């Protein structure tokens, strides 16, 4: 088990924004730090929601499985983000799997401790509502994309969201800085692996993206934005 983090580390997390030093120390005192190697499940769909979670380091994939066995990638969680907390205050069951896609360090608060913290420090509850509202807006946008947009636009939007969340400048362009498979992209956009592979291969031939083994680099971000927004293609310079 990793050592307890410095309370100052929580100050950069949206869940704890606006809290003073004493409140941050209180939150750290009730937290349980844990390490999760890549590929392990932090919690599973349908499991009782025993704790709320916040990621310190690494990357977590939230995956929901439907009755027919089809999987949907709901979100990738990055450092500083909360996950699995809403279930404590709804039906008490985790609605999806949380899987470490890189080695992770996280903090968790048992359900009773999370409720106690929100009672003592109402700012935490207000921050949680703000975070949940932002994710609801994102989910509404994704539902609209699935219902109204061509698959190429959906894929472009998904990659641009990941660039905003975890983009890293490299020599070739902007790299999505965690392992991302074509199957992940298919499960994020409501399409098939074949369609994603065909689309990315076409974009590679145009120099828009570069994809390898679970790595994606956006070589021409403006061209990807043009696809996402259904704008005319960027003209080639003579």
Query: The domain 7-146 is classified under which CATH number: 2.60.120.10, 3.30.830.10, 2.60.40.10, 3.40.50.300?
Result: 2.60.120.10
- Which of 173, 172, 145 lies closest to 158, judged by CA? 145
CATH 2.60.130.10, domain 151-228, yes or no: no
pLDDT for 1 = 58
Provide the token pair at 43.
């919690």
Report the chain (238 residues): mean pLDDT per 10 consecutive residues. 71 90 92 94 96 94 92 92 90 94 94 93 93 89 88 95 90 90 92 95 95 88 93 63
Angstrom distance (rounded) from CA 108 to CA 151: 37
Taking the C-alpha atoms of residue 96 and residue 111, their distance in angstroms, rounded to an integer, is 17
pLDDT of residue 4: 64
Question: What integer pLDDT is reported at residue 214 of this predicted model?
Answer: 81
What confidence score (pLDDT) does residue 112 get?
93
**Paired tokens of 103:** 């080695």
* Integer CA distances (angstroms), 14 to 35, 36, 90, 124, in order: 21, 22, 21, 9
Sorted by where each begins, the domain ranges of the chain are: 7-146, 151-228
């Amino acid at each position: 088990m990793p050592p307890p983090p410095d309370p100052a580390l929580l100050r950069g997390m949206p869940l704890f924004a606006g809290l003073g030093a004493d409140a941050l120390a209180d939150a750290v005192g009730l937290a349980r730090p844990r390490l999760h190697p890549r590929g392990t499940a932090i919690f599973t769909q349908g499991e009782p929601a025993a704790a709320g979670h916040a990621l310190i380091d690494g990357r977590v994939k939230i995956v929901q499985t439907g009755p027919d066995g089809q999987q949907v990638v709901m979100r990738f969680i990055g450092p500083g983000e909360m996950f699995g907390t809403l279930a404590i205050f709804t039906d008490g069951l985790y609605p999806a799997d949380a899987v470490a896609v890189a080695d992770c360090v996280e903090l968790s608060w048992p359900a009773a401790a999370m409720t106690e913290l929100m009672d003592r420090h109402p700012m935490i509850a207000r921050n949680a509502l703000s975070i949940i509202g932002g994710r609801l807006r994102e989910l509404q946008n994704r539902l609209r994309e699935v219902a109204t947009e061509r698959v190429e636009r959906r894929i472009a939007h998904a990659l641009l969201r990941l660039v905003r969340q975890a983009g890293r400048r490299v020599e070739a362009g902007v790299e999505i800085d965690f392992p991302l498979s074509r199957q992940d992209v298919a499960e994020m956009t409501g399409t098939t692996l074949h369609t994603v592979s065909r689309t990315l291969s076409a974009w590679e031939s145009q120099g828009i993206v570069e994809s390898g083994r679970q790595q994606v680099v956006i070589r021409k971000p403006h061209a990807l934005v043009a696809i996402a927004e259904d704008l005319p293609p960027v003209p080639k310079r003579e």
